[in-house]
Structure 1
Amino acid sequence: MRISFGANKRFRVITKNGEAVDISGTLTGGGNAVRRGRINTNVQVMAATENHEDLIPRINEKKILLDEIRAEILSLRNTVEIKSRQFDQAKIEFRRCSQTIEQSKSELKTAENTVKELTQKFAETNVKEELKKVREKIEQLEEKRNNMTEAAEKVKRDFDEISRKIDAIYEEISGTLKKEVDEKKSRQTEIEGNIKTLRTAASKAEIDLKKSNEKLENMQKARETEKIKDRLEADQAVIDGINEKEVGLKREIANGNDEIAKLKDEVKHVEAKFAEITTKIEKLKTYDIKEILADKTLEKDKKTASKKKKKNTKTATTAIFCELNENSDESDLSSSDSEDDNEEEDKREVRSTTSAASSKAKAAADSNDENSGILPTYSAEEIAEFDSNEIQCQLNIVENERAGIEVAMNLNLIEEYRTKLRECKKEGQILKEITAKRDKIRNRLGELKRLRVEEFMEGFTEIAISLKEQYQKLTMGGDADLELVDPMDPYSEGIKFCVRPKGKGWRPMNLTSGGEKTLSSLSLVFALHHFRPTPFYVMDEIDAALDARNVMLIAHFVKERAETAQFIIISLREQMFNLADRLIGIFKVNDCTQNVVTPGLECIEDAAAATESHEFIIGTDAEKESVIRNKLRRRLEEDETDNVAAPKRARKVM
């Protein structure tokens, strides 16, 4: 102790018993050796053996003792402050005296040199008076030096005495007060650092706010662009539907044109037959007039019947072609936007053909009307002159011609065309209904996509803002950002996670170190928890790549969030599981995995108060908790009686 707390210099001393006396005055060492490697496999929590009512007076006594100690500590603090001020003043005075002594020494040396020079210079002259003056001055300076030396020694003695008193005070309060003062100083330094960090974060937040506003404007532009894109897609879909409809109508028109071509062929065939019959009729007119007169009545009847038949046939054909023309006009009107010039020419040809057929039928009908007046009457002599065989022959010719006309004119094609036309109209109506349903579903799908993107962007923005806050808290000034790879389509390329650790530049998450990745991932997890809280989390060694400071920071961070969620954390770091509400130790003995479950902190404090109530613990809640846990761990190790192998390193689970 004499060597450690010497008057001139202090040393750190190690005694023979292994005790260490530090320069600051702390004394460490001693105590019983910790017995390890005999963990009891059947651990039972120590229960309180005394009644809680008996503990109340003892707790009150300890509280009174605590108040007295606190008052004594406060008094000692005041004394230390006073002595510190006195010590500072003594130091200042000592420095001033030392400077005066040094100055006097330098003046004395100067005076001696001056005396020597004057002695050599005025050796032959009478310098007694000057020498006397110099000696008087030297005596004065020596007297002044002696006074200064005495004052310096006095100051040094006072300084040594104050140092001893301060050392004694430090020795008295070093166990509790020094630690608390150091904690307060470190806390003050930490608060000052936090203030600087918050100021820096505020300035960065302003910059981030400007960037966020710019990003918001870009997102709004992206949304408008997306709406325009959706409209273009909808318009394109409508155009595709119209094109499909146009192709279908063209196909129907092509089929109709084929049918019209067939009908044209039929009409031409009928006209050829009609011309042939007309030629035969003209040839019959060139017969002998007598024979014609003889057969006049019969020929008139036959001609009348034949003309009526032809008239009826032509009238029916004309009506059918008129109806076909009307249907074709309706079909042409429905597809007028998609027909080309060739189809228009085909329709003009069909119309001209039907018009020609109608005019021919009308001319034939007019001729029939003119020729079919009042039937002539014949006398019995004229009738007797008619030849029945000739009449029968003419009748057979006319019937054969009529049969040929009926065979050549296939009226089933017209009926089939009508059927196809009705089916086309029906399918067109069904197509319109399906198109309307498709457009309705497509509009609904576009609305749902728009709502999905809006909800996603709202959640994404909130998570990005929360991520910035969480990352800044974890890294004490860093920054993080979430960006969309493709703002036009958020679901196509995903997101990009970039971070800026404190004192470094921006970089993607895949280019960061293991500890930075851990902090970034935890920031994202806590941001998601802020956006949509989850009641239960399981984390496996999240502190493996972190140092002790960051482990403690994350442990307190998780402790704050534990109010709204339950965290089960597998950890091997003491800084992490010292803050746990409950510990589960997993170990292996004789190839058999076992576990030890410790109760909550309240039960541990009750057990410690019941078993070691004579000890009083001073410190913060975390320090108390650590001391109690260590005591309980030592008690469990001491109570172990089975000789078992040393367990492997336990995995602590919060």
Structure 2
Amino acid sequence: MTHSPPPQLGDQELEEHDFEPAIANESGPSTPPTRKPSPEDSSSPEDSSSQLQQADVINVESTTMDEDALPADATSSQPISSQQSNMLAPPSQSQSGSRPSSPLPKRTSLVPTEPVKEPTIEIVPRLVIEKMVLVNFKSYAGRQEIGPFHKSFTSIVGPNGSGKSNVIDALLFVFGYRASKMRQGKLSELIHNSSGAEDLDSCTVEIHFCEILDLPGPDNFERIQGSTLVVARQAYQNNSSKYFINNFASSYTAVTTLLKGRGIDLDHKRFLILQGEVESISQMKAKAQNEHEDGLLEYLEDIIGTSAYKDTIEKSAIELEALNDERSERLTRVKYVEKERESLEERKREAETFLKNENNLAVKQSALYQIYLWDCKKKATKEEKLVTQLTAKLEEDQNKHKGLKDEVQALENEHNARVKEYEKIDKETSEILKQLAKIDREDVQMQENRKHLKNKEKKATKALAADKHALSENQSWVRNHEADLIKHQSELEKLERNLEAAEEELENIRQSLKGKTEEFSQQIEVHQKELAPWTAKIVAKQSEVDMAQSEHDLLQEKAKNQRSNYEDALEALNTLKNSQASKESEIVELQESINASAGQIANMERKIKEMATRESLLRDRANLARNRAEEGKASQQKTQSRSAVLNRNLGAIDDKYDVAISTACPALDNIVVDNVEVGQQCVEFVRKNNLGRVSLILLSQLPKRNLNPIQTPENVPRLFDLVRPADPKFAPAFYSVMQDTLVAEDLRQANRIAYGKQRWRVVTLDGQLIDKSGTMTGGGTRVMRGAMSSTLSTGEYTPEAIAQLEHERDQAEAEYKFFQQEKLSLERELSSTVVNVPKMEMRLSMFKMDVEASQKRIRESEKRVEVLRNEAEPKPAEVAKMKQLIKKATELRAEVTSIKKNAQSIEEKIKDLQNKILDAGGVKLRAQKSKVDGLREQIEALGDRSTKTKVAKNKAEKDVVKLSAQIAKHEKELAEVSEDLEKLEREIKEKSQEAVGIRKRGEEAKQIMEEKKEQMEEMKHELDAKIKVINKIRTAEVEMKNQLDDLKQSLSEVERRVKHWKDLLQELTIQEVDYDEDEVVAELQEIPETELGMIDKHELEQQIQMLEQQISSAKPNLSVLEEYKKREEEYLARAKDLEEITLRREEAKKAYDELRKRRLDEFMAGFQIISLRLKEMYQMITLGGNAELELVDSLDPFSEGIIFSVMPPKKSWKNISNLSGGEKTLSSLALVFALHHFKPTPLYVMDEIDAALDFRN
């Protein structure tokens, strides 16, 4: 470190260090983290430095030490004026650039020379001092501006007396410190006084604050606009001062409050480390010896803030001790009085119980009698009202429905008459339908006949037309053949003339060549004469061959045509037979369907008759179920609440089995109860009222059994199955007394059943009983009757029974409606079937007629097939003739061949000679010869054609004769068919007119039937409705009469009971008891009706019975009650005092414990944080040492205090008081920095903290 010569007053040198501060953190003033550090947290000074609080640090250093004491690379300075002071960092090079003559050990820098990469954090604004303005303050004359300061660390260095400490004094001045803290006696002495600046009136110091946002890099930041804060203080010669905030007058309180709000700790002044204060920390004891001293415990408690609890805790302890003493005194008094009271407790309890029981008995008896009385009055009022209502309603209903029976009878008579009328019309309609069906069948038959005749006419017409067409064609062929023959003859004559001319021409040519060819001609002539007989023979024989072949071909074609006609007829016959088989199959199916439909109609008619009977039964059953349900509802309305025992019969049985069940079941008079508790109440009631013996059946104790019907010998009924329980829940009770007892018609049947393979208990209808053991009882002149009624009594209609009756009613009505729908469906099916049967019969008739016609056609076809079969096979004469013709033609061809063979040599000779002549005659002769030959061939061909035409003409003439005969036959057949058709059309027309009349009558009859049926149904509905009303009226009248009788009898009984309960109420009294003012027995009062309804009467009866037993057995001493009362009052008064003091003591103890716990918790939390930071700071400062704060008493840190143990590098653990001066300073600084971590502040000011540091430290 270097410096310039001592400056004039107000001058100084500042150096700015271009590196990150050793004390820094991530954000502005905030609460430090309280997490417990891991070992890694303290392993690296660099890591811990990144967690420090960034703040303005002003380090004021003395320069009394020579600049050579620092390493050359750690010093650098530049002079600046006092008007432009800067925040500086440690120098890096001497200003003069000189280096020490001998190098000293180089001290390692506390901060890396390169910026440390900080973790990504949220940037928050923080408060910094931007600059200071001093006006005439101490050694600074005029207006001196110091700044701008560095955002993190600034050192102010200079020689002694240069005014470094005055910067701190300026801060203290603005922060409101007294003049003595600034080394002056009074405020006026702070005003600058020097030559040339005498008699100044005041001095002023301004501190300019602002908020910034830290940016990456040691010098980068962003100033927040509008965050400037200027705090100033002005002192005057009269020793007064004024404060200003942003140039506005303020006060000391406002300024200090503002600065405290910005995080500056003005209470403990930790941001300010003055000269000598570092060493004072190392001299602190573990705990102060008296209240006027400060130990390390008090120093830390003051910073942590738990010292504020000390006075409060002490006061709370004194208060708690006083309350404990007072409570002990009062507790002794209470125990004494309690002991005297407990000696009277037993006798007092006996007397108290006795009086309570007597009064409670009277109160409960009064309540019970009032309940009985209220029940009776309520019942009487209700029954009187019901009597009036029922009487009026009965009279009204009787008058209202007086003539309804006559109306019902008239409706029944009219309905029966209409039923008979409907049946009559139905019968007439059936006859009409039968007639119509008959006419329809006849019409179908005639239609089928007409169809057959039409087909026959059509076929005959078609055959006639075909024959006429064939006749016309054959006649045309005859004419054509005659014309062809004439034409052939004409052509033949022409060809012969041409031949004659050609031969003449040929002869002329030959004559012209006679000299040359005469010899040849003569030879030819000779040969021709020889050939002439042969040629004549060949021509004759060839003509015979052609005739024979033609005749054979005609016979063969005739046979072929007859075979084809036979095959066509046979195919038509097979088609007719297949069609007939199909129709016969359909006839069988239709006949079966008709028979089945007839059976169905008979069954449906029978079922409809049966259903008509059952419909009446179901209607009566539905009416009965409806009446029973209505009766049950009416019965329920008059039923009053009774006790748990149902005082009525629980079942009914048909009168037929009255003697049998009365004989077999003597236990029918047993009382049925729900459970054991109700049974005990019944027994107690009977015993109390001396009602004799009763037998009870407990439903809850009965075993569960299968109550379904069982298979019995001879299918006799089981007695249990004949009983109709009022409620299904009572069935087990009946089974328990009847078991599987069977009912027989007589004793003979009973013996068969009882003594079979399985023993049975059997009773006969006349009362004879055979037990399983074989014993027989009953018989005689007297028989048992009346044990069970045939009908359930009015009172037996429970809600469950009524629900069952309503279910039976709904089921019966649903069954009746379903049955009606089923019957209607069956009637519709019957109607549909009846309508379909005539249609099927008509189709059957049509098919039968088709079959008959088909059979007729088949017979005709079979005849024709038979004829054609005979014709298809050639006749023996024709076959023989065809064979003869073939043989003849063959023989003739052989003869022709033989003749030709014989004449061949002559022809060859002639041919050779002719060729010679032709050769001699040349082309002309050859041509003429060829012409002659061609004409001869034409004449020969024309002769062949003429022969064939003659044969065809002969055949056509024969066909004309045959077809003429067939046409005459067809015309005769058509005349007969036309006559039959005309006759049939007349019959069809007559039947159609007759059918129209019958069909019209049928439609009218059907319409009348529908109308009558609709009228009957309407009348039936009306009649059913009126019958239903009559049944309801009768049921209601009987029910109302029964109810009136029951109500009148019940009303008389109720009036008697009202008088009885009033008398008992008058007899009740209550004793006056004053032994306990807090528990006063109520007087006998009249209970409101609304409350009476909420009291459980049965529980009240049981309580009264228990009280009576307790009173009768007690023998108390009533005089002890007064004495006990006195002791009780005294005890309660003392106990109340004890309770009050105990409550106060507990509250004081709770507050004392809470204060101590809060002090301990807060102190230990802060202590752990400070201790951890101390370790980190010391390790960072000393590069390897260790330091920690230790509790002398780990269980109570406030009893013995705290010791500061240090282990300098390469040394052992020592108490701070045993360290050297430099080591003490470093240890104290580590603690100071740890405290700054615990409670950070925006700025720290330290004055010559390195004064005690030697070269090593």
Structure 1 length-normalised TM = 0.24
Structure 2 length-normalised TM = 0.14
Structure with bigger RCO (C-alpha 8 Å, 6+ apart): 2
Structure number having the greater helix percentage:
1
Based on CA coordinates, which of the two structures has the bigger radius of gyration?
2
